[in-house]
Structure 1
Amino acid sequence: MTETPDSPKQDYRDSVFLPKTDFPMKAGLPQKEPGILKRWQAQDFYAELRNRRRGREKFILHDGPPYANGDMHIGHALNHILKDMVVRTQTLLGKDAPYVPGWDCHGLPIEWKVEEQYRKKKRNKDEVPAQEFRAECRAYAQNWVDTQREQLKRLGINADWDNPYLTMDFQAEATIVSELLKFAESGQLYRGAKPVMWSPVEKTALAEAEIEYEDITSTQIDVAFEIIESPIDALKGAYAVIWTTTPWTIPVNQAIAYGPDVEYRICRKRQDDGRQYIVGLELLGAFGARLGDELVPLKAIKGSDLAGTMVRHPMHALGGFFAKPRPMLAGDFVTTDSGTGLVHMAPDHGEDDFDLCKANGIEPLFAVEGDGKYRADWLWLGGEGSVINPKFNAPDGPICAALHEAGGLLAASADYKHSYPHSWRSKAKVIYRCTPQWFVPMDKASADGALREKAMTAISQTRWVPEKGQNRITAMVEGRPDWVLSRQRAWGVPITLFVDRKSGQYLCDAGVNARIIAGVREMGVDAWSDERAQAYLGSDYALADYERVTDILDVWFDSGCTHAFVLESGRWPDLSWPADLYLEGSDQHRGWFQSSLLQSCGTRGRAPYNAVLTHGFTMDQKGMKMSKSLGNTINPLDLMRDNGADILRLWALTVDFTEDHRIGKEILAGVSDQYRKLRNTFRYLLGALDGFSDAEKVAVTDMPELERYMLHLLADMDAKLKTAVNDFDFNSYVRLLTEFCNEDLSAFFFDIRKDCLYCDAATDPKRMAYRTVLDTLFHALVRYAAPVLVFTSEEVWQTRFPDADSVHFSEWPDVNAGWIDAKLSENWLSIRGSRMLANEVIEPMRRNKEIGSSLEVEYSYNGDPGEVDLAEIFIVSAVHHGRETSAVKTTNHKCGRCWRHLPQVVEDGALCGRCADVVGGE
């Protein structure tokens, strides 16, 4: 020990080893991140990473294509951040995890926007050549692909942005056609007239995935059909009463359904008007209330006795179709939940209606046109509509007025509230409309099983995260109808079939199909034209004998085929089939997950994915759905401009994304605070490791207990992080990382060892051990954080290693599982508990200003300190063994360098022995 300097008031600040770093506390992410992005782009980071991982185990995430229509929204941001997290964590584990982004480019939303532009210019889309119109749709889609691509890049998503897949690429369109023809060649395609969801506004059939339900108020009416023939004499001259909330379907009524097991009553009004009605027994009261009178039961009738009964339409006086008698038919679907217990049948506009009527030889009429108006030649309301117009269906509208005049309208009121299907694009009401459409049958028997059967097997063989996703898609596939493939629009992949005009069968010829596929590969969807039709048919067939189908494919078939042209085409040689993972929002159980499943099971017998991860939807801070009209939307572009992409990424990876989750100013303020703490952890590590080299490293066996305990905690967290990656549990991943940094490091390890770092000699074994552990922590933590905070981790890495490769080329840190020491951990958990208790005892002294620092305290407790210096751990002057826990202000003097209060310090400002040795040895 060297001699203490003469002057106890000497300034020793220059002798303290304070952390040194250029890494700023203030992040400035909005300014820094674009520069880091440019550096990555300049070095072609994605391609370089592929080169470095080539030959490694593959992990294939197939990107579900967002729609090329509009700016990126918060849902896009969340979805792509999650995908990037998957790819980056798998890459960190050493795998080759390519990421090819894609876009869905065909379909109604784009066509609708182009039509809007036409309407503003007072142009009629139907007068524009189809090829010109499609070219405008293609240009519109490309514009939004380019826009969204730049916005997604800004999130720090590492992907093959220069070579994305687009469903409108000619190669993609040719593959979609090829996949369609596989269904045709295997007999999994038929054309039939069945009721499908139809949008009169958009003039096309819609898939279930394109439907959303909204509450509306409709007109409900009770209509009387006079019974003209019945095996029950008492029924002749009575009226069968039906109830409906779609008055517009009365003009196409063809039958009335009854429940065979339902109890009916012939009844009359108390204020007798000379009429008798037949109504379900359980519904007499409700029917009477709608009529405004009490009903008097006259005779009981069992439903099955109604067989053979005939009625006539209230508008029978019009003649023709309306004069034809209507049969009453037994329907198992008829209930007494509402209405009258009798259901009017319009096979054009209902699934049950269609099935029951078809089974009884009644065919659809096709009276309602694609725009929702009745055919011009229809006897009643011809050329009028639209059928979804509330005024058209109103109690004083044309339908009810005519029924009232004819004596058929018993009651009408515009007060029935119920849920009703709408197009998710136009937001307009849809109808069931029977039209000739192309279908894939779900239950057609084949050598390898029906499509539904294969899909159900594939679902059971797929990993669903969270597990409830399996129940969701199982229920949807189990009960779904045949897949409607056709749409009546212009912008999409054509249904490239020729139909024999005599037999109605589509042509199935491998040579013809090959020529069609080649044509689409050359020219895209414009290749399917009248001008080229004979060339496709070749010399074996005459065009005059065939109808060229002009419908286009449902866009869900397009996106359902993406696995074929992205994973199998060879255009992206780093990819392979099937995908390890599909990742989209939970709505895709009825959308892309399902269309991909059905398409792949129909052509390959299995799902195109091994696992499916779903996320919920982002709500506002109060848990409400975001809406521009409510003004509660959060724009990710604004967030990145104001806070930086890493804050947005941290938010996305801290919420429980498997459920619906929230975002708002207060939530983002909490995320920013979380980020600040992580950033300060890295700042401390960088400063504390200033000048560190391998020569300073200490073997683990030579380290103090505290350092070995920290390595134990690191190894324990490392194993948990790997589990979180394998479970795609990113919420836990980030929580483990942040809690370790905040609680185990900043509030514990760093706090205890700052005295050692600042004041011990540079060659002191304890200080060297501490810095060795800090170096280990740095290399581990910056890698763990890299998939989350992609920009900040790069900044941290480049600050310490300015000439090194990007941190994102690194692999999972080398953390030794042998550092796990359960006995050591148990001992230190006890010590940490005692430390917390000491802080609780000391804190009131600090609040009351009895002390300025815990270093002024002597602490007593009844525990066994063992070999650990508890004064150092508790950061106090001394720790004594006593019967009771207590704290008193020490009388020891304060060292002028380390500020510890120790017995060996002769007066305030003098040096303790350690500090004297360090200062004297400089």
Structure 2
Amino acid sequence: MTDTAEKLDYSKTLYLPETEFPMRAGLPQKEPELVKRWQQMDLYRQLRASAAGREKFVLHDGPPYANGNIHIGHALNKILKDVITRSFQMRGYDSNYVPGWDCHGLPIEWKIEEKYREKGKNKDEVPVNEFRQECREFAAHWIKVQSEEFKRLGIEGDFDNPYTTMNFHAEARIAGELLKIAKSGQLYRGSKPVMWSVVERTALAEAEVEYADVESDTIWVKFPVVRMSEPGVALETGEAYRQAVIAQNADGGVLGDLQGSFVVIWTTTPWTIPGNRAISYSPKVSYGLYEVTAAENDFGPRPGEKLVFANKLAEESFAKAKLQYRKLRDVTAEELASLVCGHPLRQFGGGYEFPAPLLAGDHVTDDAGTGFVHTAPSHGREDFDAWTDNVRELEARGIDTKIPFPVDDAGFYTADAPGFGPDREGGPARVMDDNGKKGDANKAVIEALIAANNLFARGRLKHSYPHSWRSKKPVIFRNTPQWFVYMDKDFGDGTTLRSRALKAIDETRFVPSAGQNRLRAMIEQRPDWVLSRQRAWGVPICVFVDEKGAILQDDAVNARIMDAFEQEGADAWFAEGARERFLGSRANEGWTQVRDILDVWFDSGSTHTFTLEDRPDLKWPADVYLEGSDQHRGWFHSSLLESAATRGRAPYDAVITHGFTMDEKGQKMSKSLGNVVAPQDVMKDAGADILRLWVMTTDYWEDQRLGKTIIQTNVDAYRKLRNTIRWMLGTLAHDEGEDIAYADLPELERLMLHRLVELDRLVRDGYDAFDFKKIARALIDFANIELSAFYFDIRKDALYCDAPSSLRRRSALVVIRKIFDCMVTWLAPMLPFTTEEAWLSRNPQAVSVHLEQFPEVPAEWRNEALAEKWSKVRRVRSVVTGALEIERKEKRIGSSLEAAPVVHVSDTALMNALEGQDFEEICITSAIRVVAGEGPEAAFRLAEVPGVAVETKLAEGTKCARSWRVTTDVGSDPDYPEVSARDAAALRELAALGRLG
């Protein structure tokens, strides 16, 4: 033994991994440092500069509401958007992300009002623009807070210049879009039943409500049949109506057996009965005339009374009223069409002496109730439609078709509800109070129906009912004057807003595709678009109207409005003297200034104008809109309608939707259940990249689950992925940047390059399809299964122990370098912190991985034949690995290097694949022998790999002190008697290079 050999520490002669990239990520500490670095280097501006001149890709940000800390839904949403914009940026596009915020509307106004109430202050006593300024400051505060929280998630965008709906230019553009619609003749003032929040004193859009279970009073009400009528024949009303009823009912031959009968309706809103104007039935439902034979109730029908029901629902209804009955006969649709009923309150204090005709309606079914629908056009969309669809026929018959306003904005009955409104002793009854609690209206109506002997039965029902998503209180449906946009009025070019929107939907890509049918169904069925809200904080409906509601069309007036809004914001509309300022010489013409504000959905639906159109760093239309699936009725919907109305198409080419985040049991997160997962907590404990990895590995198109167990699962997956990256970094510490011709690479290296070709296509297609789970799963499996457990495991011996000149070692370094570059850049959009740390560790002089492009992977690396061959090699290897695992479990070997198995192969194709392979290296054994044949019966086999059997034998020879392989040539080199010949040659070469220390 030489003196050199005596002094050698063999571990120091190996090319062992060397890296400062820590195994423990410490993400909660490291990530804020990287955020600070990106801000100091102005990464956003560098990204824009690097992408100058490229084709633009624009994801337009759906604005979150500026009124609180972000929650897990925000995190999911922003991470998805960030991954999309980053992935396109790193694939040759100028992919600029501009964040935005929704700033107007009731939630912020409500917060300021709450602050006032705490101080005993009355909002109405505060000048409106002073109040609006407080709302503006509130929104500005939360924009700043949310910006920092989004940046902590790793979101990269123009946070120094976001868009906000309260920016003066934005308010001017929103107003301008309204004026365009008004000029096209599509804006009108009308009255329709809308969802109304008594608590908040404003109309609500469908997107502003959520549904919760409530228990309601339910009543079955008798409408007396008073006469038969003929279509086109006028009906009397008032006193003449009463006299005609008396005269006709005296003649039993006219009504026949329907004389004295009642049509029975069922409703969960007794308070709407004063607004009743008709009864709806369905020609598709079978009806019958029934007679009460016995009664066990305290009120209601008595024996001998005759009632009309849907046949399918009669038994259930009579049982509810504790009645016995017999069926007299069926009643035809023709008979129903000719019936006229009296209002069930016609004997209550006057004011209800009008007929209640029966109207055919498609909304009527015999699934529940009585088969007849109480129709109060003031209090429901379907009721309104049933009434207005028949208005011509009703007017021809002399019926007053004016729709009443029975309930005011505070939930009190008005004079249009005689006996319950201001004329009621003790004051008007109330449907709901200021706290969202049930008022005395139901009780008053039910008592009046009992007194009139027109209550059939009553009960209670638990059912789903709309609530304001802000106040969490129930809403009511009430007829109010509002501003609308027509859905079906011709623009003058043969199109309507509905037809334009439906065409745009057909031309839009939806991910997932089911979103297209969902949005289409909503547009097909939606009523005219209600724009007005009765609040203070927002962009006003900046038009002037005459006494008939006609809108002033004056370009000079509109120009003054737009100029003022541009300079002063929408506050200009509410300033003292605004009317005279804008009308100018027309101020004395009697025009009224509208004081309602625009629904915030019109604000957000207009963001494409002042963001995509007005910013030179963006483009119109957007490539993508991405939001939660609830936005089919929200932002996707309002953006589509606004753009279709003013530009004839959607402002987006594609719509992506994500689901909602539940807890680990699939329950909705709520503070009361204690199952809320806050993104701030996840980042503090585990790091933002863990949260991002969860987003990337979940089916975000559907509802997802999140909790401690799921977070830990992602932590574990992240650690494995990080360790793979860390090992590559450590190994590449010995990379000298050499390149080797593809043809000179060993088969195993060419196999891995083939896999990079396959993955490159998968990654690019996955990012195009917004299928991030497919990418994440493929890359994680590649790292764990194909790299760590296969390729790296096989090549560790060569990489650590081979001589500096070894082609095998040098080739592996070349390929690992390419794998590292691909893996880290492919993952960069998903895990921006980890990949940045890894990239800078590998390339200390680099600026940022996020300024890189995905590497070009040469198509000539694709080698299907090689891949097929190696799939056979790996099948045989799996049998060897299985056999060795048993030996380890039985403690007959400690390491696979102690083994020298005999592999029996009877499958010719598998045998041919092994020809020329260094199979002992592939199986990580010290020796191996492959022989043709079935092998002994006791040999190890795997059922899924027929034709292979393995006998496990111990390796013969001595364990090499350097590589730990057991070989027969240890000591063959007298200068290095403790190592194998391969290792001795490596040591000699290292010594010649002066690398033995």
Query: Same fold judged by TM-score > 0.5?
Result: yes
Q: Which of the residues 785, 797, 805 maps onto 1:755?
A: 797
Structure 1 counterpart of 2:530:
484
Cα displacement (A) at 1:236: 3.8
Cα displacement (A) at 1:887: 1.0
Cα displacement (A) at 1:449: 0.7
- SS for the counterpart of 1:858 is coil
For the 8 Å contact 1:4–1:910, the answer to whether it is kept is no
Counterpart-to-counterpart distance in 2, 1:355 and 1:79: 38
- SS for the counterpart of 1:193 is strand
For the 8 Å contact 2:287–2:308, the answer to whether it is kept is no
Q: Which of the residues 277, 285, 288 maps onto 1:264?
A: 288
Q: Which moved more, 1:879-888 or 1:305-314?
A: 305-314
Mapping 1:688-727, distance limit 5 Å:
688-694=731-737, 696-727=738-769
Please state if 1:646 is matched with 2:644. Answer: no
For the 8 Å contact 1:894–1:909, the answer to whether it is kept is no
Mapping 1:338-737, distance limit 5 Å:
338-358=368-388, 359=391, 360=394, 361-375=400-414, 378-382=417-421, 383-387=428-432, 392=439, 397-414=443-460, 416-446=461-491, 447-501=493-547, 503-529=548-574, 531-539=577-585, 541-569=586-614, 572-694=615-737, 696-737=738-779
Q: Which of the residues 839, 856, 872 maps onto 2:921?
A: 872
Mapping 1:131-280, distance limit 5 Å:
131-230=129-228, 231-259=254-282, 262-271=286-295, 272-273=302-303, 275-280=305-310
Relative to structure 1, is the Cα distance of residues 720 and 333 closer, same or farther in structure 2, using a 3 angstrom cutoff? closer
Counterpart-to-counterpart distance in 1, 2:9 and 2:356: 108
Counterpart-to-counterpart distance in 2, 1:149 and 1:310: 63
Counterpart-to-counterpart distance in 1, 2:699 and 2:360: 50
Q: Which of the residues 890, 893, 900 maps onto 2:958?
A: 893
Counterpart-to-counterpart distance in 2, 1:309 and 1:773: 87
Counterpart-to-counterpart distance in 2, 1:857 and 1:735: 34
Letter in 2 for 1:609: Y
Counterpart-to-counterpart distance in 2, 1:543 and 1:210: 39
Q: Which moved more, 1:700-709 or 1:347-356?
A: 347-356
- SS for the counterpart of 2:778 is helix
Counterpart-to-counterpart distance in 2, 1:17 and 1:31: 31
* Offset from partner CA, 1:416-448 (integer Å, 9 cap, x none): 233222222222222221111111111112305
Counterpart-to-counterpart distance in 1, 2:955 and 2:734: 37
For the 8 Å contact 1:265–1:299, the answer to whether it is kept is yes
- SS for the counterpart of 1:444 is coil
Letter in 2 for 1:370: D
Counterpart-to-counterpart distance in 1, 2:829 and 2:45: 18
Counterpart-to-counterpart distance in 2, 1:629 and 1:677: 36
Question: C-alpha root-mean-square deviation of aligned residues, in Å?
Answer: 2.2
- SS for the counterpart of 2:190 is strand
Cα displacement (A) at 1:106: 0.7
Relative to structure 1, is the Cα distance of residues 534 and 728 closer, same or farther in structure 2, using a 3 angstrom cutoff? same
* Offset from partner CA, 1:852-906 (integer Å, 9 cap, x none): 1111111111343311111111111211123322111122211111111112125
Structure 2 counterpart of 1:103:
101
For the 8 Å contact 2:312–2:366, the answer to whether it is kept is yes
Cα displacement (A) at 1:9: 10
For the 8 Å contact 1:247–1:399, the answer to whether it is kept is yes
Structure 2 counterpart of 1:312:
342
Letter in 1 for 2:504: A
Letter in 2 for 1:682: I
- SS for the counterpart of 2:57 is coil
Counterpart-to-counterpart distance in 2, 1:377 and 1:59: 56
For the 8 Å contact 1:257–1:331, the answer to whether it is kept is yes
- SS for the counterpart of 1:268 is strand
Relative to structure 1, is the Cα distance of residues 474 and 331 closer, same or farther in structure 2, using a 3 angstrom cutoff? closer
For the 8 Å contact 2:279–2:359, the answer to whether it is kept is yes
For the 8 Å contact 2:292–2:323, the answer to whether it is kept is no
- SS for the counterpart of 1:224 is strand
Structure 2 counterpart of 1:801:
843
Cα displacement (A) at 1:258: 4.0
Mapping 1:297-308, distance limit 5 Å:
297-298=327-328, 300-307=330-337
* Offset from partner CA, 1:564-608 (integer Å, 9 cap, x none): 000111xx3210111111111111111111111111111111111
Cα displacement (A) at 1:475: 1.3
Relative to structure 1, is the Cα distance of residues 323 and 700 closer, same or farther in structure 2, using a 3 angstrom cutoff? same
Cα displacement (A) at 1:814: 2.6
Letter in 2 for 1:595: S
For the 8 Å contact 1:190–1:439, the answer to whether it is kept is yes
For the 8 Å contact 2:52–2:94, the answer to whether it is kept is yes
Relative to structure 1, is the Cα distance of residues 433 and 391 closer, same or farther in structure 2, using a 3 angstrom cutoff? closer
Cα displacement (A) at 1:391: 5.2
* Offset from partner CA, 1:305-334 (integer Å, 9 cap, x none): 245544433433444413444444444544
For the 8 Å contact 1:247–1:393, the answer to whether it is kept is no
Counterpart-to-counterpart distance in 1, 2:979 and 2:338: 113
Letter in 2 for 1:485: L
Q: Which moved more, 1:696-705 or 1:722-731?
A: 696-705
TM-score by length of 1: 0.95
The unaligned stretches of length 5 or more in structure 2 are: 229-253, 296-301, 395-399, 422-427, 906-910, 936-949, 992-997
* Offset from partner CA, 1:349-392 (integer Å, 9 cap, x none): 12233234341242122120112111278532322213487754
TM-score by length of 2: 0.88
Counterpart-to-counterpart distance in 2, 1:344 and 1:616: 37
For the 8 Å contact 2:405–2:416, the answer to whether it is kept is no
- SS for the counterpart of 1:147 is helix
Counterpart-to-counterpart distance in 1, 2:982 and 2:193: 90
* Offset from partner CA, 1:657-712 (integer Å, 9 cap, x none): 11111111111111111111111112111111114223x33222211111111111
For the 8 Å contact 1:268–1:298, the answer to whether it is kept is no
For the 8 Å contact 1:347–1:354, the answer to whether it is kept is yes
Letter in 1 for 2:926: S
* Number of equivalent positions: 913
The unaligned stretches of length 5 or more in structure 1 are: none
Cα displacement (A) at 1:216: 2.5
Letter in 1 for 2:978: A
For the 8 Å contact 1:240–1:278, the answer to whether it is kept is yes
Cα displacement (A) at 1:399: 2.5
Counterpart-to-counterpart distance in 1, 2:446 and 2:437: 12
For the 8 Å contact 2:195–2:204, the answer to whether it is kept is yes
Mapping 1:769-784, distance limit 5 Å:
769-784=811-826
* Offset from partner CA, 1:95-138 (integer Å, 9 cap, x none): 11001000001111111121222222222222222112111111
* Offset from partner CA, 1:157-205 (integer Å, 9 cap, x none): 1100000000011100100000111111111111111112222222211
Q: Which moved more, 1:267-276 or 1:585-594?
A: 267-276
Q: Which of the residues 860, 863, 881 maps onto 2:930?
A: 881
Counterpart-to-counterpart distance in 2, 1:248 and 1:151: 47
Relative to structure 1, is the Cα distance of residues 229 and 824 closer, same or farther in structure 2, using a 3 angstrom cutoff? closer
Counterpart-to-counterpart distance in 2, 1:164 and 1:878: 65
Counterpart-to-counterpart distance in 2, 1:392 and 1:228: 33
For the 8 Å contact 1:197–1:207, the answer to whether it is kept is yes
For the 8 Å contact 2:608–2:620, the answer to whether it is kept is yes
- SS for the counterpart of 2:504 is helix
Counterpart-to-counterpart distance in 2, 1:724 and 1:329: 54
Counterpart-to-counterpart distance in 2, 1:546 and 1:533: 9
Counterpart-to-counterpart distance in 1, 2:588 and 2:27: 64
Counterpart-to-counterpart distance in 1, 2:724 and 2:382: 65
Cα displacement (A) at 1:155: 0.6
